[in-house]
Every structure is written in structure tokens, then in C-alpha cells.
Amino acid sequence: MIILIFSFLFLIFVNLISLSKPNSIINNKYTKTFFIMLMLIFSSIWIGYKDVNMFPDSLGYSTYFLLLKNISLMEALDIINYENAFIILQWVVNLLDMPIEFNFLIIYLVFIIIFIVAIYILFNHYSIYFVFLYIYFPFFITLGGNILRQGLSISFLLLSISILIRYKKKTIYFFISALFASFFHYTALPLILILVVVNIFKIKMNHLIYIWIFLSFSFFMKLPNILTNLLIPISYINSYISESSLNNYGNQTYRMDFYLFGAFFLLFGLITNKYVFNYKDRIYTSILKIYIIFNCYFLILGFISYSDRVAIFSWILIPMIMIYPLLILNKKIPLVYPAFATLIFILFLFLNGRYY
């Protein structure tokens, strides 16, 4: 109940900010920063410092955290079948000899802080509106509280994307954050390589759409393509097509619901890019291009179990595709963002009711 009360107070406060004039008592950089800090603390207590039974993967992680307390770092790297960056982070945290919940808290703090930095780099004074709605999106809660390694990876991936879009010449920072994304979850590596190729050869939006349509056809027909054959030998990908993994996932492959969900927001983004931005907003166009690339990754790997964990790379960009044009429209029609924020908040309140 306390979580619910604070959530409603945050909703009221962010709507007041959006309705107030810039540099007023309510809408200024200090109140926005203060509000973001409050949300960071609140979400850390809510999602980060949690009961291990709150999420399905938490029990598995807690077993490994306990194991790390009794072995050396070299033994941990040799025994535990996780990415090295994640093992090193948790081994260092265990040196503090704190309760197991503290491990989850540290993971979430790293995740949310890197995420907020990425959002700030990309959207600056608009950051507060993104951070608020992101926290209540279902897959955000999953990344921060359940699929922890991928959550850390995606936060660094978003940071690398923000740097790539905002500071084209600061490639060293892009590669550093991209490497961290790969070291926390190996599935991010192919995406980073594709991003580099697209950026070097300056592949246009139209070409990416053609590729997406081709991959959609192979997805519909359940046909492996040349990229699929290149990815299958990777041991990490191969583990998701094992018989046990497929059985645990109910043998659900080529998920049409995931495809339609991703396609809907692609269509939304293309229409918005034309009629709201007239193809002139570089940030929105760049986000949309990256969304197409990441969604193509899902289409390529549609045959694996737990394909939602591949699709989530593109889904994490959906709030940007939705919120950014609304903030532009909000300048002309001040009630656009508050109405949308309230609607989304109520919708996800029902979807995520078990977490409140």
C-alpha cells in the first residue's frame, strides 16, 4: 500500500511539472533532479532491496551469491557459468559480508544509475518524464529485478546508444560502454557489431525496413536464414535451442504475439516520424533505426526458447518511441503528456499489481 501511495504522489508531481512553465518554482532543473533522486531511492527499495521470492530468477541468483562467499575470485570465474563482469561485480560486493538482499540492491543501483545517465545524455531536461514512465513499464521491472545480467547489459547498451547519437566523435566512450554491455551479457555483442556496421556504412532507414520485411517473411515461414546459421554455433545461443530449454518454455518458438507487438510500435514510430517530425528530428530517426535493428535481431532468433529475452532489446526502446513525440506535442497541447502518463500508469498498475 505504501508503494502505491508513493507511486500516485510521483504521478501527480510529474504531471504538475509537465503543466508548469520552464524555470518556474515547480519546473526547474533542481526540482527535476530532486524528483529523479527520489524515484531512484524509491525504486531501489521497491525493486532492488527485495524478497528473493519476488521474482522467479532470484532464487537461482541467491544460490550463486551464497557460493561466492566461500570461494576465491579465480575459483568463481572457473566454476560459475555466468559472464565474467557479473561474477567479478558480485564477488567484490560479497567482500562487504552483507545480507544476500544487498547483492540485489547493488545490481539494481548499477542498473538504474547507468540507465538514468543514458536517458539524461539523450534527452537532457526531458529526462524526468522518461524515467518516471520507464520505472512502471513491465519489462523495466523484469530487467531490474529478475533477468539481472541482461538488465545490466541493456543499461550499458542504452548508454552506448546515447553516446553514439549525441556525441558521434566520442567513439572511445561508445566502445567502452558497449564492451561493458557485452561483458555482462554476451547476447548484446551481435547488436553492437551490427550498430558499428550500420554507423560506418551509414545505412539508411529505407534499407533497414527492407531487411526487416525480408526477415519478417522468413519469420512467418519459419525458415532459417543465413544470419540464423551464423548465430547457432555460438554456445550461448545454442543453449536456448536444447530440448530441455524448449520444453521448459512450452516449445513456443516464432512467437507471433511478440512479432505483432514489435511491429505495432515500428509502424507507430514510422507514422510519427513522418507526421510529427517530418523526418527532421535526428534523435528520433536514430532511435527508430536502432529499434529496427534490434527487432531484426529478434526475427533472426525467433526459433529459440525464451525469445522474449531477445525481443526485450528492442522493447526497451518503446517508451522512447512513444514519449518523445508526446513531449513535443505537449508544447502545443499541455495536457497530452499528463493524460498519457496517467493512462499508462493505470494500465501498468493492473499489469504489475503483484509487485505493489
- Domain residue ranges of the chain, discontinuous segments joined by +: 1-189+334-356, 203-316
Least confident of 20-24, 25-29, 252-256, 280-284: 252-256
Q: What is the pLDDT of residues 41-50, one digit of tens each?
A: 888 887 766 6
- pLDDT at residue number 79: 86
Q: What is the percentage of the chain residues whose pLDDT exceeds 90? A: 47
Cα–Cα distance list, 19 to 33, 37, 304 (Å): 17, 21, 45
Q: Above 70 in pLDDT, residue 246?
A: no
43: its cell numbers: 525504486
- pLDDT at residue number 250: 62
- pLDDT at residue number 304: 76
- pLDDT at residue number 302: 81
Per-residue pLDDT, averaged over 141-156, amounts to 91
Q: Above 70 in pLDDT, residue 111?
A: yes
Least confident of 29-43, 239-253, 311-325: 239-253
Q: Above 60 in pLDDT, residue 355?
A: no
Alpha helices, DSSP H, located in the chain: 2-19, 29-43, 58-68, 73-79, 84-94, 100-123, 127-135, 138-145, 148-166, 171-184, 188-201, 205-220, 226-231, 235-238, 243-248, 256-275, 282-300, 308-315, 318-330, 336-351
pLDDT band per the 50, 70, 90 thresholds, residue 242: low
Q: Which of 105, 70, 19 is nearest to 333 (CA)?
A: 19
Q: Above 70 in pLDDT, residue 166?
A: yes
**Structure pTM?**
0.92
Per-residue pLDDT, averaged over 242-268, amounts to 81
- pLDDT at residue number 275: 92
Per-residue pLDDT, averaged over 319-341, amounts to 90
Per-residue pLDDT, averaged over 123-135, amounts to 92
Q: How many CB atoms lie within 10 A of CB 185?
A: 25
Q: Which of 15, 205, 214, 41 is nearest to 128 (CA)?
A: 15
Assign residue 108 a region (left: φ > 0; alpha: ψ between -120 and 50; beta: otherwise).
alpha
- Amino acid type, 163: I
Per-residue pLDDT, averaged over 140-147, amounts to 86
- pLDDT at residue number 292: 97
Q: What is the pLDDT of residues 199-229, one digit of tens each?
A: 888 899 999 999 999 999 989 888 765 555 5
Residues 313, 320 contacting (CB under 8 angstroms): no
Per-residue pLDDT, averaged over 291-308, amounts to 87
- pLDDT at residue number 330: 85
- pLDDT at residue number 168: 74
- pLDDT at residue number 353: 56
- pLDDT at residue number 285: 95
- pLDDT at residue number 46: 77
